[in-house]
Structure 1
């Protein structure tokens, strides 16, 4: 494989020490940790939990090669899993599940095919309309107060409501799913969180087996791949994990950047809304999933000056790779970042995820044009856990909005969505839309 730059030879003392990627020091200043790790080269020895070693890929080109080579870097963790204690805190995120994330070859193609086919049935204009309506409703809730925590009152709730709609998930199950997934990402009682997540998803699968509807869960069930209940549950773990926690982080990180970075703040004051540029910047520098896409070499390897032991986790640092100082190309307007992954395991829902974040952020800036941070940007704190990058809170202030009816009220008769999205209409959402399309999904949400 090609080295991003030379690193210490195998056996060098620099390879013997491992940098911990957990604890308050990493959470508070992760960028300094990545910068320090670069002394090792493109791959650095780390500890992802107490007593749990791994190799972290922080070189862009090396990360790209690893992601594109599942034959050398398979995703199945079961050999590694046999070597770690059952209470290892990263197991709920890294332990084997029979889904697309932890399989390769034909098994991966079967499950991923069901997912991509189901995603293709989501009509993007209807998704956009639902996100707009949900955003308006949430802004109406806190708008009259002149202040809000955009994480707890907006960025966390909006992706959950979208997930509940798309997957036919009743709100009470959705709340439990978010609780379980948050615990896994933050490594807070992860075993308990994983049990809650799995139990709740089995309930959702049973519900949709009994009462299928026009939703992703039902579409996965009826797919020719004939997924079992267990496969359904563990594929939903991946979809829910990718559709709620990272989406919340992308929205929150994007708003923080727009309100705190002079490059964007000056454009906002002039009436411009550079939302797509801000999202690209976040996906390069603060991607919502910071470290993941773990693989497990079948044999000892020497790659980019580092020795990779057989079966030891090789974790891709999306943040580290994206901010690799050896990159010579311009990042502005460039979507060659690795935030969505690459190769056969690249995120299949990146188009939908980007659309949701774009609409959510634009709605905030449309409705609250004078919005500003309530505390200095350097006083914002980050959530624990090395897998993701997200704020604990995002307090803002703005001129209170007058009392008004929720924009998502007065449902209209839904029209069935076409079987596939129209890629030509995935551009930046229009502002001040007067006509809103409604899908059967939206009708289901309202009990029609």
Structure 2
């Protein structure tokens, strides 16, 4: 796949094919030019996972957009320029989120298709339909008071810390960051805590299934979980997200409720787990989070903003499809062609702070970034996500005050894939804690704190 571009200055915005041009220009597209590399760049495999930022630097040689392959046989154009990314994300007149035309020619068995196949949810909809879907999500999350969300995170964090606290070591990715959001979502969507393990096991197979058979079995298990959840809430409503989706004035159908439950769990879990783990990885390799000569240590919230700027948990996504042939920032894009935004590349266009490097933490003010995307399709639940991640990190470092990584930051490895920036492991050690030691422990905190239920604080809008 080549990138048909014309030499000369690049446009600062999008222009439909032929608009504002002469008759000859309207009839003839600019000729393609030879791309900087002899092969289309792959956004998957161990080489990309090991050094994505080196890949983004090479892709910038193309200009604001570059041709990539996100899976064998699945090509895309990737936006690496911050200004171009904003132009795309805010222009719903030119760009659509509906992938149905594109997927007709895409390989059905590609591992990236679950992230790109059209479904009736807010990720793949435009205009009024998208606004209706988005209201159902935001209104429902608005009904969870922040202090109750924080209390739930604390309780679940304590239960996990109690499981590995006596060992003096843990894989903070698989034993903490990856499971805590799922336990929380299981509760927020309205099933008893006893169902958490079913959800964790099912989605672990979806993430890590080594064979098509394993992935298929995991997918079936997840469908079974969602089926039980939907059946339970159709019988008896509760103070939970599933019930609020069902009863929202947007009038979601059963199919739409199901798809928004699935997308909220998936889109909420993967970024939150990676945000927790990536922030911990930076904190535990930077002494400034525990002491500083200027007075006042950096906080978990600083680490969160550091990651959102320099190592966003979802690195490449925002799949868009032009509604017509368009000349966009120096590149001709065909109608219906897959174009994705690289949040990671756009954020670090003018430099990136490495973990542990001087100035590596951005501070709670942070800087301009696209980790939440932008425009009408920006993340609808940014504040809850930050609250969950910050509370999870605060609770862990409060109980295990001397926690440290067992490997250097540059020895950490990341999962393959074009979309996420996700650690495979986060091995750490600390002074063991036990239930019978003097003073407060996670076990005492867990047993003494009554579980709070979410209250219906206001009618759905």
Deviation digits for residues 210-247 of structure 1, max 9, x if unmatched?
12211000111011222112111111122101222211
Q: How many residues align?
A: 415
Asked if 1:55 corresponds to 2:77, the answer is yes
Contact conserved, 2:306 with 2:366, CA < 8 A, in 1? no
Question: 1:25, CA displacement in angstroms?
Answer: 0.8
Report what 1:363 is aligned to: 395
Change (3 A) 1:253 1:416: closer
Closer, same or farther: CA 138–196 of 1 in aligned 2, 3 Å: closer
Q: Does structure 1 retain, via aligned residues, the 8 Å contact 2:148–2:454?
A: no
1:13 maps to 2:38: no
Find the structure with the greater CA-based Rg.
2
Match of 1:382?
414
The corresponding residue for 2:450 is 412
Tell whether the 8 Å contact from 2:13 to 2:87 is kept in structure 1 after alignment: no
* TM-score between the two structures when normalised by the length of structure 1: 0.85
Greater mean deviation of Cα atoms: 42-51 or 263-272:
263-272
What is the root-mean-square deviation in Å for CA atoms of aligned residues? Answer: 2.7
Q: What is the CA–CA distance in structure 2 between the aligned matches of 1:413 and 1:395, rounded to whole Å?
A: 30
The Cα of 1:390 is off from its aligned counterpart by 1.2
Decide whether aligned partners of structure 1 residues 85 and 359 sit closer, same or farther in structure 2, where only a CA change above 3 A counts. same
1:311 maps to 2:336: yes
Tell me the residue number matched to 1:432: none
Contact 1:151 1:393 in 2 (8 A): yes
Q: 1:87 aligns with which of 109, 128, 137?
A: 109
Q: Work out whether 1:398 is the aligned partner of 2:430.
A: yes
Extract unaligned runs of 5+ from structure 1.
Answer: 422-448
The Cα of 1:268 is off from its aligned counterpart by: 11
| 1:428 paired residue number | none
Instruction: Tell me how far 1:195 sits from its aligned partner.
Output: 4.8
Report if the CA contact (8 A) 1:18-1:47 is conserved: yes
Structure 1 residues 164-202: Cα deviation after superposition (integer angstroms, max 9, x where no partner): 111013456544544555566668646665554444323
Change (3 A) 1:228 1:199: farther
Of 343, 348, 364, which aligns to 1:323?
A: 348
User: What is the SS of the residue equivalent to 1:65?
Assistant: helix
* Shift in Å, 1:17: 4.0
1:150 aligns with 2:172: yes
CA-to-aligned-CA distance 1:250-278 (integer Å, 9 cap, x gap): 11100100011355464499872421111
CA distance in 2, matches of 1:172, 1:140: 17
Secondary structure of residue in 1 paired with 2:152: helix
* Structure 1 residues 402 and 196: alpha-carbon distance in aligned structure 2, compared to 1, 3 A threshold: closer
Change (3 A) 1:173 1:50: farther
Pairing partner for 2:147 from 125, 139, 150: 125
Q: How big is the shift at 1:203?
A: 3.0
The answer to whether 1:354 aligns with 2:376 is: no
- Aligned equivalents of 2:120 and 2:237: distance in 1? 23
8 A Cα contact 1:120 1:419, kept in partner? no
SS in 2 for 1:260: coil
Residues 56-80 of structure 1, C-alpha deviations (whole Å, 9 max, x = no match): 1111111111111122110000000
Alpha-carbon distance change, 306 to 79 in structure 1, aligned in 2, over 3 angstroms: same
- 1:443 matched residue in structure 2: none
The answer (yes or no) to whether the contact 2:288–2:297 under 8 Å persists in 1 is no
Aligned equivalent of 2:94: 72
Matching residue of 1:215: 240
Question: CA distance change for structure 1 residues 297 and 147 in 2, over 3 Å: closer, same or farther?
Answer: same
Compared CA separation, residues 179 and 152, structure 1 to 2 (3 A): same
Q: Which runs of 5+ in 2 are unaligned?
A: 1-10, 15-29, 353-360, 436-440
Alignment partner, residue 122 of structure 2: 100
Taking a change above 3 Å as real, the CA distance of residues 416 and 252 of structure 1, as seen in their structure-2 partners, is closer
Instruction: Give the Cα–Cα distance (whole angstroms) in 1 for the partners of residues 34 and 362 of structure 2.
Output: 35
Quick check: 1:286–1:319 contact (8 Å CA) kept in 2? Answer: yes
Q: Is the 8 A contact 1:54 1:313 kept in 2?
A: yes
Match for residue 134 of structure 1 among 146, 156, 159: 156
